[in-house]
A and B are shown apart, each in its own frame.
Chain A
Amino acid sequence: EVQLVESGGGLVQPGGSLRLSCAASAFTFSSYWMSWVRQAPGKGLEWVANINLDGSAKYYGDSVKGRFTISRDNAKNSVFLQMNSLRAEDTAVYYCARDWSGNDRTFDYWGQGTLVTVSS
């Protein structure tokens, strides 16, 4: 069964950094784009970033551009989100999701989410 398991969330002070990880299993990881999506408490879904198959192309939402970096390690079936210069408004549950493999489907599997709280 396809699984995505996020880790690395926690409490961090404004201006601080955090690195999220997402471990994938039971599918050919290197055949899929991967995304991070977040959801602030009581709010809707916000796409954060995605990365292509070999990591050579990365795209970011406007609210995180220049502060967050997405990366992947296909040998370890993992995708990462390095978050720097964190702000209170970055407080959210962060989900990783299987984005796209070139067919018609998208975001068909999601992790359980990891909570990031930015507060002093």
Chain B
Amino acid sequence: DIQMTQSPSTLSASVGDRVTITCRASQSINWWLAWYQQKPGKAPKLLIYKASSLESGVPSRFSGSVSGTEFTLTISSLQPDDFATYYCQQYNTYSRTFGGGTKVEV
């Protein structure tokens, strides 16, 4: 099974900061990686698919990139609404896998 290692698990940041979250796959997943944002008590929301494609309606301050098996979610200028938990997920195989999550807090 493909393992997804996400880091850091917690990130302290301030409004206006540039934030970077990393997800490493245990083997090649090509570009089949998605990023989600989840707020307490709510279902996750798709932000990025196929490593770098921005989901419709998602602010352009969110971006995704890839280098080999390392994937990165970047928030260019953190906004108050962005304090949440972020998850990566691979969908290269039919059995999907999520990363452990990164909580972005003040």
Residues of A within 8 A of B (CB): 35, 37, 44-47, 50, 57, 59-62, 95, 99-100, 104-108, 110-113
Contacts and interface: CB of A to CB of B under 8 A. Distances in A.
B89 A62 contact: no
A106 B49 contact: yes
Nearest to A4: B43
A62 B1 contact: yes
Nearest to B93: A59
B43 A100 contact: no
Contacts of B99: 44
A98 to B, nearest CB: 10
B44 A105 contact: no
Given A44-B85, A100-B91, A104-B50, 14 more contacts: A45-B38, A45-B44, A45-B98, A46-B98, A47-B89, A47-B95, A95-B43, A104-B49, A104-B53, A107-B91, A110-B43, A110-B45, A111-B43, A112-B43
